[in-house]
Chains A and B, each alone.
Chain A
Amino acid sequence: MIEILATVLTYVALAAAVWAAVLVVANKPVQLREWHGLWLYGVVALLELGLLAQLVGGIVRLIGDDRQIDTFAFLGYLITPLVVLPLAALWALAERTRWGPAVMVIGCLTVPVLIVRLRQVWEAHV
C-alpha cells in the first residue's frame, strides 16, 4: 500500500464526514444545486478517485514487493470502500431530508475504518 495516499484519504474522508454531519445538524438534505451539496459530492468524487489510485497502487506493490500477506483480505479492503462510497452517495441522494447527509457520514466513515484494517493486513507480513 502507499502510506502517504492512505493517510491523505483518511483525512479527506474524515473532512467529508464532518461536512456531512454539519449538513445533518443544519437540517439540509443533499442538494447538488446548492453549493454545500456540490462541495460534499465534489470531495466524495475526489475521494473515490483517490481510492481507485490506492487500488491500483496496492495491486502494483502486492505484485512488486513479494510480501507474504493475506492477499484476499488485502484486496477486499482495497475494493470495498471503492464500492461502498458511490452506493452511499446514490442512496443519500434519494432522500429528501437531513437523513440523506447522515447516510454520507456513515459512508465516509467506512473509508478510514477500512484503511486501518488495510494497514493491519499490510503490516502483518512474515
Chain B
Amino acid sequence: MSELAARTRSGPGRLLIAVYAIFALAATARSAVQLGTHFSRAPLAYLLSAFAGVVYIVATVCLARGDRASRRVATVSIVVELVGVLAVGTASLSLPDAFPDATVWSDYGQGYGYIPAVLPLLGLWWLRSSARDVE
C-alpha cells in the first residue's frame, strides 16, 4: 500500500496535488465569501462554486493519501469534476441569465486560465500512469 501511496504523491503527482490544493482553497474560500455576503445575487452560481470546492478538497485529500481506496474515491471525484466543468461551462454559455456571477467552472474555467478544464484530464492520466508497474 505504502509504495502505491508514495508513487501517487511523488513526481508529477506532487505538482498535481499542489494545483488541486490551490483550487480547493480558491473555490472554497471564494464561495464562502459569496455565500456569506451576497447569497441572493446568484444563488445557483455560488452553490455550484461551493460544490466545486468540495470536489476539489476530496480530490486533493484522496490523491495525497494515495492508497487504493483513496485513489478510487479520487477517480470518482475527478470524473465528477470533469462532468461539472463541461456541464457548467456549456450551461453558462448557453444560459447566461442563470449565471449573473461567475463560478470556477463558468465558460469552461476561462477566469482561471482554463486550468479547471485541463486539471481533471491530467488527474485521470496521472491516476492511470501511476497505477502501472505496481500490480
Contacts and interface: CB of A to CB of B under 8 A. Distances in A.
Contacts of B30: 76
Contacts, number: 47
Nearest to B16: A99
A91 B18 contact: yes
Interface on chain A toward B: helix, strand, loop, or mixed SS? helix
A106 B14 contact: no
A7 interface: no
Of listed B12, B15, B17, B21, residue having the most chain A CB within 10 A: B15
Contacts of B36: 72
- Interface extent on A, as a size class? 20 to 34
B14 A91 contact: yes
Interface residues of B, number: 18
A100 B33 CA distance: 32
Interface in B8-46: 10-15, 17-19, 21-22, 25-26, 29-30, 33, 36-37
Contacts of B14: 91-92, 94-95, 99-100, 102-103
A110 B36 CA distance: 24
Given A76-B29, A106-B22, A99 B15 contact: yes
A76 B15 contact: no
Interface string A77-120: 00010011001100110111101101100110010000000000
Contacts of A123: none
Given A91-B18, A106-B19, A110-B22, A97 B11 contact: yes
Given A91-B14, A103-B14, 11 more contacts: A70-B37, A76-B33, A91-B17, A94-B14, A97-B10, A97-B11, A99-B12, A99-B13, A99-B14, A99-B15, A106-B22
18 contacts: A70-B37, A72-B37, A83-B25, A84-B22, A92-B18, A95-B14, A96-B10, A97-B10, A99-B10, A99-B11, A99-B14, A99-B15, A100-B14, A102-B14, A102-B15, A106-B18, A106-B19, A110-B22
